[in-house]
Amino acid sequence: MKPIFDESDPVELRLCVNGAVRTLCVPPLRRLLDVLREDLRLTGTKEGCGEGECGACTVLIDGQAVLACLTAACSAEGSEVVTIEGPGFERARREFLEHGAAQCGICTPGMIVMTRAWAEACRRDGIEPTEDGARAALAGNLCRCTGYGAIVAAAVSTAREGFP
Amino acid sequence: MERYIGRDLARPDGPAKVEGRAVYVADLDVPGAWVGGVVRSTVARGLLLGLDFDPGFDWRTVAVATAADVPGENVVALIADDQPLLVAREIEHWGEPLALVAAPDELQLARALAAVRPRIEARAACFDLERSPRVFKSIRVAQGDAGAVFRDVPPGARVVEGTYRTDSQEQLYVETQGFVAFPPASDGSVTVRGSLQCPHYVQKALARALGIAPEEARVVQLATGGGFGGKEDYPSVLACHAALLARVARRPVRLILGRHEDLAVTPKRHPARVRVRAAFAADGTGLALEADVLFDGGAYTTLSPVVLSRGVLHASGPYRWPAAEIRGSVVATNHVPYGAFRGFGAPQTCLAIERLMDRAARELGIHPFELRLRNALRPGDTTVTGQRLEHSVGSLEVLEAIARRTGFDRHAWGAPHAESGPRRRGLGFSFFFHGAGFTGSGEELLRGRVSLALLPDGRVEVLAGSTEIGQGTQALFTAIAAEALGADAADVVLATPDTARVPDSGPTVASRTCMVVGGVLAAAAAELRQRVGDGAASWRERARAFLAGGGDGAVTRAYAPPPGARWDEHSYRGDAYPVYGWAADVAEVFVDEDTGEVDVARLWTAVDVGRALQPRLVTGQIEGGALQAVGWAHREVVSARDGRCEQDRLATCIVPTTLDAPRFDVTLVEVPYPGGPFGAKGVGELPMDGGAPAVLSAIEDATGIHPAQVPATPERILDLLVARAEEAHA
Ligand code: FES
Ligand code: FES
């Protein structure tokens, strides 16, 4: 059961998702998570709690990591939304596989999206990617399977690309 | 020369998971499906006098099911048939299902659920395991005459005792439980798809509840976002609810628990109270052990008798006791039923015996490492059930490995600290074992099966009921099959666990998938290889030639117990488990004496896995299990008030994050087990047993207090620190 219902009248919404412009007619406060998963059938973005506590629903809006379960779809209008299905995750995916960082996989899309946001922030701001940095960046993403060591190592390897 | 054993294979399930393509139950696109919900009891005990349906609501827009609509027996079939699918009259716990509703959408469902008004007469409930009026199961293990040793303590010997308590723990799989059920087909058969560990458990439960034959109930596993035992028994409840709704609504129904509901009503780890006392000779040699194990089972039997069994059988710790008496009971309360969680009763008793060993070390003036080493079971020794340990006894090897890695054997454990300021560092230790596979004759009775089918193109399909729940079943089975066939990994395909296609390999529990089912798979593959024959040509060429020549490419093998294994369920004597995994942990903690907060900085673990078939996977299992243990040790609080879970959301149900997790240092020790595939033995649960005692031992080293309850929360630590200060003052 979902926690939030928006019973107001649908409005037209134009979203740019993974590089494609999509026009939808949805209630303005419908969760971005539901728009992605149900209206656009992009089910790679997961729901672990629906209230901002697990990070499984992390997506990028204009390069920033946001929780799609706490984001109203209408607030993403005019922005670039990128989900795990989108381009640009190749390196992170490879590192996650090589480090054994995906076990049950339910936290994995959120982890990979957050890793990319952190890696890009490191590059942009010239911050050396470290294990402590990765742990701080991923602190909002829960994983119950791995103990985090493999995930943190995969995130650091991903972010080190382009660093000497 | 082995090609796949000991070398990491790419996970077959990996690419779909990192690309977001893996289909979990919430991702399944089912056109026309309605959504289901459950009307639940708001008291922990009472009588359901009736259900009132608000006349202002248009009930034609939804489908409703009550106990009267259950076509078969109104039971959740498991060990005892005491749990109803839907309450008919007696309510035994908070959140117990009273009625089911399905609606075209979430909004209508919410309205309908709110329009059902149960009439309930509340009754007095019991929440105290020490005052329970009813025992689900009692077990006694005895060897020698322990009573005589305690009555008449030998000169120079010393008796050490303690009472240890462990609270419940939430599995917290990140994917909540859920099923999609389809309405009965014209022949009466029913299909459900969902998130689960044990397809054949669900199948049996569906058959009983719907009054159909097991073959008429089809259960298909979807990608499953974690289980840890939490998806062992509860999926049977949920699948039956979903199937009942699909039957009444005559359309597919999606029943997926929200996080609040999942936390509030699904089974968690059994709370426990363990009293233990032991007699030691002056040199630290153990003479006798007595333990009294009490588990809170909650409102219904569920898996409690087997959880108790494992708890009792691990209460001795991995030590030699010439005399021992261990009594255990699991009792009924009006808590939400407790169930399976990694470790399955053993973490509770392991905590007690390991805390007692630390206390004994202190009282005897012997180093805690030395005390363990002196009493550790060795090859040729017998356990408290009279089991002679012959194969794969890596006890001394893991002790040696952990000492080498950490120097704990030279650490002045428990010595007064010179530090000033409130932050105290401590190192703690634990030594533990875990029986792999089912207890006693379990595997023999179950006779788990695996089939192989040669496909026309020469590839081999593995048909097994074992599920991939993150632990790596798919990679492991691919490696085992390819190695045993002498084929390429690409020649192996894995069937989806679907009861219409795969045989019953037994449940995916009890650290048995690799060792037991993997062993059956290796034997089946060896048989197929023998039929096809070796040669210079590739596997596929040889396999195609074999098929073209009329060869039979279908093989089914069942588990065969190791020769000579014996177990007596009545006396609890004999070979309690086929083999044991052995491990030792060292934890490093920092305790803030002003706040009682504990930071677990590092955790070293040395684990005898028999043989690491897939080193990366087994390391992942060990680190993941160890973090759950560390979380339980001091952070993960689960409590109930009037029978209602107080941590029913992730804001209050706390589990470790990247910032809380210690740095792990895993040493894999390999003492091969001849009864397992390529020497491997079970490891899934073992890492859950040792983390909590190691952390509590480290807190003791840091502060001098003796924490006796898990989780050792800041409040509990502060209480002990205050008591210590008052004692010093007095
Ligand atoms: S689903 Fe959004 S944070 Fe958990
Ligand atoms: S891999 Fe299962 S929750 Fe992270």
B470 lies in the same domain as B347: no
The structure tokens listed for B266 are 């699904």
The 10s digit of each residue's pLDDT in A87-124 is 999 999 999 999 999 999 999 999 999 999 999 999 99
Same domain, B412 and B451: no
Task: Confirm if B180 and B252 have CB atoms less than 8 A apart.
Answer: yes
DSSP conformation letters of B557-569: EE--PPTT--EET
Do residues B190 and B222 share a domain? yes
Residues of chain A with Cβ-Cβ distance to B176 below 8 Å are: 48
- Say if residues B176 and B256 touch (Cβ distance below 8 Å): yes
The H-or-E segment that residue B556 falls in is strand B554-558
Mean pLDDT of A17-31: 94
B131 in a structural domain: no
Q: Which residue from A minimizes the CA distance to B259?
A: A49
Q: Is B154 domain-assigned?
A: no
Q: Is A149 on the interface with B (CB under 8 A)?
A: yes
Residues of chain B with pLDDT under 70: none
Q: Closest Cα to residue A33, out of A70, A7, A76, A80?
A: A70
Range of the domain at B668: 272-439+572-729
Task: Confirm whether B656 is domain-assigned.
Answer: yes
Q: Is residue B606 part of a domain?
A: yes
**Beta-carbon contacts of residue B501 (< 8 Å; ≥ 6 apart):** B463, B495
Residue at a domain's end among B219, B240, B265 = B265
Are B466 and B423 within one domain? no
Confidence band of A7 (pLDDT split at 50, 70, 90): confident
Last residue in a domain, options B530, B558, B586? B558
Q: Does domain A3-82 have CATH number 3.40.50.300?
A: no
Q: Of B575, B247, B317, which is closest to residue B442 (Cα–Cα)?
A: B575
Within 16-75 of A, beta carbons closer than 8 Å to B belong to: 37, 41-51, 53-54, 56
Same domain as B119, residue B190: yes
Ligand nearest to the CA of A51: 1
Residues with Cβ < 8 Å from A98, sequence gap 6 or more? A154, A157
* Cα A69 to averaged position of ligand 1 atoms, centre (Å): 5
State the best of B28, B38, B174 to mutate against chain A, taking most chain A CBs within 10 Å: B174
Q: Is the CB of B214 under 6 A from ligand 2?
A: no
- Share the mean pLDDT of chain A: 94
Q: Are residues B505 and B431 in the same domain?
A: no
- What's the number of CA atoms in the CB half-sphere (13 Å) around residue B437? 31
Residue B562, pLDDT score: 81
Total number of domains in chain B: 3
Assess contact for B633 and B695: CB atoms under 8 A: yes
Going B537 to B543 to B548 to B549, the CA torsion angle's sign is positive
pLDDT digits (tens, 9 = 90+) for A56-82: 999 999 999 999 999 999 999 999 999
**Model pLDDT, residue B241:** 98
d(CA B100, CA B91): 16
Same domain, B315 and B392: yes
Interior/surface letters B86-123, b for 16+ CB within 10 angstroms, e for the rest: bbeeebbbbbbbbbbbbbbebebbbbbbebbebebeee
Task: Report if residue B345 sits inside a domain.
Answer: yes
Looking up residue B494, the CATH number of its domain turns out to be 3.30.365.10
Using the 8-state DSSP alphabet, how is residue B37 labeled?
E
Q: Do both B290 and B366 map to the same domain?
A: yes
Nearest ligand 1 atom, CA A53: 3
Residue B315 lies in a domain: yes
Residues B595 and B534 in one domain: no
Mutate to test the pocket of ligand 1, among A1, A43, A66, A69 (most ligand atoms within 8 A of CB): A69
ipTM value greater than 0.85: yes
- Same domain, yes or no: B488 and B553: yes
Would B20 be classed as within a structural domain? no
- The residue in chain B having the minimum alpha-carbon distance to the alpha carbon of residue A147 is B624
Instruction: For residues B57 and B94, state if they share a domain.
Output: yes
> Which residues of A are less than 8 Å from B37 in CB distance?
1
Query: With a 6 A CB cut-off, is A56 part of the ligand 1 pocket?
Result: yes
Q: Residue A5 has what pLDDT? A: 62
Residue A4 pLDDT > 70 = no
CB-based contact A100 B175, cutoff 8 Å: no
- Residue from the list B261, B651, B659 with its beta carbon closest to the beta carbon of A135: B659
pTM here is 0.97
Q: Are residues B217 and B302 in the same domain?
A: no
Which of B7, B13, B17 is most worth mutating to test chain A (most A CB atoms within 10 A of its CB)?
B17
Q: Is residue B115 part of a domain?
A: yes
Q: Among residues B233, B265, B297, which one ends one of the domains?
A: B265
Q: Which CATH class is domain A90-159?
A: mainly alpha
Q: Write down the domain spans for chain A.
A: 3-82, 90-159
